[in-house]
Amino acid sequence: MKVPSVFLWLLQALSWVYWRPPMATQSKPKREPRPPRRPRFTFAQYPVPDEVHSIIRTTWYRNGKTVEVDEIQVLECDDATDIFHYVCGGALRQGCDVTVLTTYPPEALGVPHP
């Protein structure tokens, strides 16, 4: 019973000695990390259908490349402004570009503008 386990141990030791990967003599220089991209917010007054408060388009990025584009229509209701702030604020915090189309001026929605 002891002979097979000793034999397997010997084979494992030999395989480790002869088939292990060679050690790298020089490590590759690491690339400087890129600074995180700054999300962009675009606001435009544009005619939208009467039942729609605003149209919000979010662009998601990974490694500097566009991965996904989502479009959300916020319908007119009592909480439309709160929904607008929730969607835009969450997307900007996660690093997305946000584009908004609405008939309301930016001051009515609490959006700072230059």
- Domain residue extents for the chain: 41-109
Phi–psi pair at 66, nearest 5 degrees? -65, 130
| Residue-level pLDDT at 6 | 73
- Write out the two tokens for 21: 């990967």
Contact 60, 66 (CB under 8 A): yes
Note if the pTM is more than 0.85: no
Mean pLDDT confidence for 26-50: 83
Diameter of the chain measured on Cα atoms: 85
pLDDT of residue 89: 93
Distance, CA of 41 to CA of 109 (rounded, Å): 14
pLDDT tens, position by position, 51-110: 999 999 999 998 888 999 999 999 999 999 999 999 999 999 999 999 999 999 999 998
What is d(CA 56, CA 107) in angstroms, rounded to the nearest whole number? 17
